Amino acid sequence: MFNRKTQRGFTLIELMVVVAIVAIIMAIAIPSYQEQVRKSNRGLAKSDLLELTQCAERFHTTNGTYTGFDAAAACDVDGKDADRYDFGTAAITRTTFTLSATAQGSQTDDKCGDLGINQANVRTHSAGTAADRCWE
């Protein structure tokens, strides 16, 4: 009754194979994309930390001390990554300071975690990976 040569379309098995292939590709692509987004956000945070460090050094040059340095008041960091990192100062003394960028939201899944830098340009992070890999 039906002639196989005149029928057109895809079989259910062919469609299921295509769906399976697309699912495998997406399972690989989405995590890779998310990691690249986190890496990009980390780059913005590093840039902001370096800018805050320069601002702290200018404050020290002007005042002869780091005491009283307020990053939010003294520096004009554009804060494009404010919803991904919380910037703060810690351990400010006359001769030392430490700046930190604490990951927030989806950025907490970043392999480097929280970032930090001090007056001696010692760069740190809270994750278990090598610090030079996070700051390169």
User: Could you tell me the residue ranges of all domains in the chain?
Assistant: 10-134
CA-to-CA distance for 33 and 92, rounded, in angstroms? 38
pLDDT(66) > 80? yes
Which uninterrupted H or E stretch holds 87? strand 85-90
| More confident position, 83 or 126 | 126
Instruction: Answer yes or no: is pLDDT of 118 > 90.
Output: yes
**Which among 101, 94, 99 has a CA at the least distance from the CA of 74?**
99
DSSP state of 83: T
Choose between 7 and 135: higher pLDDT: 135
What are the b/e assignments for 61-88, b being 16+ CB within 10 Å?
Answer: eeeeebeebebeeebebeeebeebbebe
Query: What is the per-residue pLDDT across 72-96, written as a single tens digit (0 to 9) for each?
Result: 777 776 566 668 898 888 788 999 9
